[in-house]
Homo-oligomer: A and B are copies of this chain.
Amino acid sequence: MAPTIRQVMDLILAEIPGAPFKQTVDTIKSGNPDQPVKGIVTTMFATDAVIDQAIREGANFIIAHEPTFYNHLDETEWLADDKVYRYKKEKLEAHGIVVWRFHDYWHSHRPDGISMGVLTSLGWEKYYDASTPGFVVVPSTSLGAIIDLAKKKMDIEKVKMIGDLSQSCSRIAISPGAGGGKSQIGSINRWKPDVFICGEVNEWETAEYIRDARYQGEKTALVVLGHSVSEEPGMQWLVTWLQPKLPGVKMTHVPSGDAFKTI
């Protein structure tokens, strides 16, 4: 007898320090978790395309890192009459699919599940140091080579960057996703990295800080990978982590991928 989706969630939460949290965005966005799990799909965004793929695979449980309904708290009152929202919501309901956001918990796992997935995808997991989360020292290489590595291993078309492609980088601060300016600038000040790699910035915050810092003679470069692609390996790594705990349950990672083209 397959476990219920709620039992799968409880099994996961048992591994997260301090879980369950009183305040978290990691709520159920759709569906009834008291049904037996038929299959699990992990992804960054439960897009309509990812939902259709889950349906094709016979999965009824989508674990998504980011919001389903276009805002951080997945508030839906403002979308009550919105066609795009209703189409997605009704499809999820018609197919009895549970969507659970797994953001705060996965970042609270030790090691941070997203960071470990990203380091693993880059071949940098051997440089992970639990005493300096978010910071690794790698063999010296050029900024251009680091960008090429990230593009190739993380399936990224283009990145936005501030820096000199030929500058040497060894001290890497890496913060997938969109941590916000104060957190990102705090990390830059803490580690004084050769490059700060992140998923997304508010352009009036970290980007302008780095622009001024470099103009003043500081050397830290900035690489912005794109939010979705910057964390996708962490949701791939969730399958690697979870499958041994649930050997009888089919689970796959379906990348939501980059929404954008750059031209």
Residues of chain A whose beta carbon lies under 8 Å from any beta carbon of chain B: 45, 47-49, 66-67, 70-72, 78, 82-84, 87-88, 147, 158-162, 165, 178, 181-182, 185, 189, 199-200, 202-213, 215-216, 218, 224, 226-228, 259-263
Looking at the assembled complex, report how far the CB atom of A222 sits from the nearest CB atom of chain B, in whole angstroms.
8
Interface pair A67/B211, CB less than 8 Å apart: no
Chain B positions within 8 Å of A189 at CB level: 82
Chain B positions within 8 Å of A71 at CB level: 181-182, 204-205
Q: Taking A84-B212, A212-B88, A260-B160 as contacts, is the C-beta distance between A185 and B70 under 8 angstroms?
A: yes
Chain B positions within 8 Å of A49 at CB level: 215
How distant is the Cα of A119 from the Cα of B131 in the complex, in angstroms? 52
Looking at the assembled complex, report how far the CB atom of A198 sits from the nearest CB atom of chain B, in whole angstroms.
12
How distant is the Cα of A45 from the Cα of B208 in the complex, in angstroms? 8
How many subunits of this chain does the assembly comprise? 2
Can you list 24 residue pairs at the A/B interface with Cβ under 8 Å? Answer: A45-B204, A45-B208, A48-B215, A49-B215, A67-B204, A70-B206, A71-B204, A71-B205, A78-B182, A83-B213, A83-B218, A84-B209, A87-B212, A88-B212, A158-B262, A158-B263, A160-B262, A161-B260, A161-B262, A178-B203, A203-B227, A203-B228, A204-B227, A262-B262
Output the nearest chain B residue to A199 by Cβ-Cβ distance.
B203
How distant is the Cα of A71 from the Cα of B183 in the complex, in angstroms? 12
Between A70, A71, A82, A263, the greatest number of chain B beta carbons within 10 A of the residue's beta carbon is seen for: A70
Looking at the assembled complex, report how far the CB atom of A82 sits from the nearest CB atom of chain B, in whole angstroms.
7
Interface pair A162/B261, CB less than 8 Å apart: yes
Chain B positions within 8 Å of A185 at CB level: 70, 82
Interface pair A66/B204, CB less than 8 Å apart: yes
Interface pair B202/A178, CB less than 8 Å apart: yes
Interface pair B216/A261, CB less than 8 Å apart: no
How distant is the Cα of A212 from the Cα of B226 in the complex, in angstroms? 18
What are the 7 closest A-B residue pairs judged by CB atoms, nearest first?
A203-B227, A160-B260, A211-B259, A48-B215, A84-B213, A70-B209, A207-B259
Between A78, A205, A211, A261, the greatest number of chain B beta carbons within 10 A of the residue's beta carbon is seen for: A211
Interface pair B162/A259, CB less than 8 Å apart: yes
How distant is the Cα of A161 from the Cα of B204 in the complex, in angstroms? 20
How distant is the Cα of A175 from the Cα of B102 in the complex, in angstroms? 32
How distant is the Cα of A253 from the Cα of B210 in the complex, in angstroms? 23
Interface pair B224/A260, CB less than 8 Å apart: yes
How distant is the Cα of A212 from the Cα of B158 in the complex, in angstroms? 22
Output the nearest chain B residue to A84 by Cβ-Cβ distance.
B213
Looking at the assembled complex, report how far the CB atom of A127 sits from the nearest CB atom of chain B, in whole angstroms.
24
